[in-house]
């Protein structure tokens, strides 16, 4: 605490110098005049309130954090400016954007990194230092801005690609303990337990629920927002009960807060597993050092959201492929997928994906020394036991040779037939009961062609039942279909579509064939709320196949032009001709 106060008073001196125009190489740099630790009494008072709730230890620390986040905003803005971005006309989402929303509390929002991480000044310094160096800012600039450079203290860093968290750096010792505040409801506790069980099943990490263990992850609803500390930070960081105004019991308390103060992180497996991943020490996927190869960002939207691109020193990917469906990827407006079919995959609520698990297993060095299985289809021995395999999405069984049975043993393995005809897969999952289930129902389908041929899919219909809302965008969190067509990339999340998406569903005037590059196409349909209905024609094709579709492949078509207006009468027994002339809208397409 003493050191931090000392640093901030040093900063006041250098700030004065900065404002007096004493910074010689300011040309080409952003305007730093708002980088100040001069905060209003109202902000101070709010900070004091937050510190009393365990968000930071004291006001001085929060002032320092706020200032450093402002510098990071500048850096994020510069990064976006210096990268050539393509189209940034992101289609508006009608749902989604759960994590990543601005916090309602402006002061708290100004203290969070990328909306949901509470970083220490040391962590912020490290990010500023590495990203600023990449932008070519001199060390002098950083010193003047009050960033305490640690680089010289670590001679190995910078010479070669360091790992995101070198062994024992921010790592938790096992077993990782966790507990809850009294006001965390039972249903949230159950999802938290299930999430840890999921991680235990897929990694070498172990967990225990304990009200007394030191250190422990502490789930709370102390204020608005979903956010957490990142990585294990030691035992002295936080521990103030609500009655404390300063963190006098931080020493040795070993509590690591994860705040679950919004409906969308309170009982959602996707959001809770995201926050816990941060707690393990993982940053956002869209901050990966290679993200500009995959995303177009709009400077206007993103500069103030700190969508900082981390350097390889802070974000090591262990060779995993970029995955738009990663549990650590936001679906916020302002990001456009360069591979445009993945637009709705960003922000997926399905929970940790295969690549996320590969990442955490590498980060905690969870490897099987002597596995007793040989895995196929891209799987690898599960470090939890080493006698079964962890499989890419869509595969299951001990060795990943089977189709994933999904949540209710649904799904199917189908054989496509010749290029002259199309079979139809008509299926649905879920119930139209308007009840949002805690967990997704899921079915996987494998559609196979003879060796040397490709599977072609023509979607006739995909989405909610008529008369039910078809939520769109932001990761298809209510229901959707995942399409996997690229044989070399079956280990990353496929393209997600929420339903009746014009990029997915063919009409008689707009054929959109989806063709695999091998003799296998994989589909997943899933829902959390109401039915997801899918109707897709499939056939096999090869390079000699005519690009026009045979008659039997023509998608179903609405015969009337005002079908949307008539949708409410689809099931009206007195008007059966409506369902017949609006087969797409009414869901009565013939098979």
Cβ 532 vs Cβ 481: under 8 Å: yes
DSSP characters for 302-329?
Answer: HGGGT-PPPPTTT---TTPPP-TT-TT-
User: Of the listed pieces 78-86, 109-117, 195-203, 335-343, which binds ligand NAG according to CB under 6 A?
Assistant: 195-203
Work out the burial of residue 378: count CB atoms within 10 Å of its CB; fewer than 13 is exposed, 13-18 middle, 19 or more buried.
middle
Bridge partners of residue 225, in order along the sequence: 261
Q: What does the alpha-carbon distance between residue 519 and residue 448 come to, in Å, rounded to a whole number? A: 6
How many chain residues are in contact with Zn ion, going by CB under 5 A? 1
Work out whether 356 is an interface residue with Zn ion (CB under 5 A): no
Contacted entry of Zn ion, ligand NAG, none for residue 511, CB cut-off 5 to 8 Å set by kind: none
Q: Measure CA of the first residue to CA of the last residue in the chain; give whole Å.
A: 71
Cβ 113 vs Cβ 227: under 8 Å: no
Work out whether 197 is an interface residue with ligand NAG (CB under 6 A): yes
- Side-chain half-sphere exposure of 286, counting CA atoms within 13 A: 30
Report whether 286 belongs to an annotated binding site.
no
Contacted entry of ligand NAG, Zn ion, none for residue 578, CB cut-off 5 to 8 Å set by kind: none
Instruction: Pick out residues in 524-583 that bind ligand NAG (CB under 6 A).
Output: 568, 571
Work out whether 97 is an interface residue with Zn ion (CB under 5 A): no
Q: What does the alpha-carbon distance between residue 157 and residue 169 come to, in Å, rounded to a whole number? A: 13
Work out whether 355 is an interface residue with ligand NAG (CB under 6 A): yes
Q: Which of 313, 246, 278 is nearest to 112 (CA)?
A: 278
Q: What does the alpha-carbon distance between residue 231 and residue 170 come to, in Å, rounded to a whole number? A: 5
Report whether 274 belongs to an annotated binding site.
yes
Q: What does the alpha-carbon distance between residue 446 and residue 428 come to, in Å, rounded to a whole number? A: 15
Residues 556-580, buried b or exposed e (16+ Cβ, 10 A)?
bebeeeebeebbeebeeeeeeebbe
Q: Is 339 a catalytic residue?
A: no
Q: What does the alpha-carbon distance between residue 237 and residue 312 come to, in Å, rounded to a whole number? A: 27
Contacted entry of ligand NAG, Zn ion, none for residue 38, CB cut-off 5 to 8 Å set by kind: ligand NAG
Among 116, 121, 129, 134, binds Zn ion (CB under 5 A): 116
Among 64, 261, 406, 430, binds ligand NAG (CB under 6 A): 261
Q: Which candidate in 60, 78, 134, 275 is catalytic?
A: 275
Contacted entry of Zn ion, ligand NAG, none for residue 577, CB cut-off 5 to 8 Å set by kind: none
Among 266, 362, 507, 557, binds ligand NAG (CB under 6 A): 266
Q: Which two tokens stand for residue 524?
A: 């997943």
Neighbouring CB atoms inside 10 A of 8's CB total 18
Q: Which is nearer to Zn ion, 474 or 583 (CB)?
A: 474
Query: Residue 550 carries which DSSP code?
Result: P
C-beta of 114: minimal distance to Zn ion in Å?
A: 6
How many chain residues are in contact with ligand NAG, going by CB under 6 A? 25
Report whether 329 belongs to an annotated binding site.
no
User: Of the listed pieces 81-89, 115-123, 184-192, 300-308, which binds Zn ion according to CB under 5 A?
Assistant: 115-123
Interaction mask 24-63, ligand NAG, x per CB under 6 A: --------------x-x-----------------------
Give kind and range of the element (H or E) at residue 216: strand 216-220
Contacted entry of ligand NAG, Zn ion, none for residue 122, CB cut-off 5 to 8 Å set by kind: none
User: Of the listed pieces 113-121, 188-196, 294-302, 373-381, which binds Zn ion according to CB under 5 A?
Assistant: 113-121
C-beta of 382: minimal distance to ligand NAG in Å?
A: 10
- Angle at the Cα of 464 from the Cα atoms of 468 and 446, rounded to 5 degrees: 165
Cβ 512 vs Cβ 530: under 8 Å: no
Find the residue with minimal CB distance to Zn ion.
116
What residues are labeled active site?
Answer: 275
Report the binding-site residues for Zn(2+).
274, 278, 284
Report the binding-site residues.
274, 278, 284
Q: Which residues contact ligand NAG by CB under 6 A?
A: 38, 40, 183, 194, 197-198, 201, 221, 260-263, 266, 319-321, 354-355, 358, 467, 488, 491-492, 568, 571
């Amino acid at each position: 605490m003493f050191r931090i106060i000392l640093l901030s008073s040093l900063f006041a001196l250098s700030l004065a110098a900065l404002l007096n125009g004493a910074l010689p190489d300011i040309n080409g740099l952003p305007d730093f005049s708002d980088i100040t630790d001069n905060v209003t009494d109202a902000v101070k008072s709010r900070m004091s309130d937050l510190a009393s709730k365990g968000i930071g230890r004291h006001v001085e620390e929060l002032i320092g954090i706020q200032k450093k986040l402002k510098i990071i905003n500048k850096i994020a803005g510069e990064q976006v400016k210096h990268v050539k971005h393509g189209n940034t006309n992101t289609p508006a989402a009608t749902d989604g954007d759960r994590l990543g929303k601005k916090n309602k509390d402006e002061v708290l929002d100004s203290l969070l990194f990328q909306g949901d991480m509470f970083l220490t000044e040391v962590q912020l310094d490290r990010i500023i230092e590495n990203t600023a160096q990449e932008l070519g800012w001199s060390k002098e600039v950083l010193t003047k801005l009050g960033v305490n450079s640690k680089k010289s203290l670590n001679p190995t860093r910078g010479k070669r690609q360091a790992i995101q968290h070198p062994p024992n750096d921010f790592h938790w010792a096992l077993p990782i303990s966790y507990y809850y505040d009294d006001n965390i409801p039972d249903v949230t506790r159950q999802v938290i337990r299930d999430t840890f069980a999921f991680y235990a099943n897929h990694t070498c990490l172990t967990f225990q629920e304990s009200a007394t263990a030191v250190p422990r992850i502490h789930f709370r609803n102390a204020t608005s927002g979903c956010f957490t500390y990142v990585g294990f930070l030691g035992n002295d960081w936080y521990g103030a009960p609500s009655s404390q105004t300063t963190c006098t019991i931080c020493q040795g308390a070993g509590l690591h807060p994860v705040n679950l103060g919004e409906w969308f992180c309170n009982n959602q497996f996707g959001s809770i597993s995201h926050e816990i991943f941060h707690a393990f020490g993982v940053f956002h996927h869209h901050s990966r050092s290679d993200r500009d190869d995959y995303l177009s960002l709009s400077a206007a939207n993103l500069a103030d959201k700190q969508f900082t691109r981390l350097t390889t020193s802070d974000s090591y990917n262990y060779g995993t492929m970029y995955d738009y469906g990663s549990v650590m990827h936001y679906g916020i407006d302002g990001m456009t997928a360069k591979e445009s079919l993945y637009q709705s995959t960003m922000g997926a609520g399905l929970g940790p994906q295969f690549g996320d698990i590969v990442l955490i297993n590498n980060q905690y060095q969870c490897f099987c020394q002597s596995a007793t299985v040989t895995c196929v289809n891209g799987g690898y021995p599960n470090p939890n036991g080493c006698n079964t395999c962890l499989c890419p999405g869509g595969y299951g069984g001990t060795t990943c040779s089977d189709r994933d049975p999904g949540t209710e043993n649904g799904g199917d393995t189908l054989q496509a037939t010749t290029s002259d005809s199309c079979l139809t897969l008509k299926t649905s999952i879920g119930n139209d009961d308007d009840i949002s289930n805690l967990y997704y129902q899921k079915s996987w389908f494998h559609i196979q062609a003879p060796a040397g041929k490709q599977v072609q899919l023509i979607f006739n219909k995909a989405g909610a039942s008529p008369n039910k809302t078809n939520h769109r965008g932001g990761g298809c969190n209510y229901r959707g279909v995942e399409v996997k067509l690229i044989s070399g990339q079956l280990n990353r999340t496929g393209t997600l579509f929420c339903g009746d998406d014009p990029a997915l569903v063919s009409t008689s005037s707009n054929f959109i064939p989806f063709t695999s590059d091998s003799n296998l196409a994989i589909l997943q349909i899933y829902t959390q709320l109401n039915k997801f209905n899918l109707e897709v024609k499939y056939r096999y094709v090869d390079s000699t196949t005519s690009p026009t579709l045979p008659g039997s492949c023509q998608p179903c078509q609405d015969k009337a032009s005002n079908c949307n207006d008539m949708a409410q009468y689809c099931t009206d027994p007195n008007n059966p001709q409506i369902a017949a002339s609006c087969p797409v809208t009414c869901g009565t397409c013939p098979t």
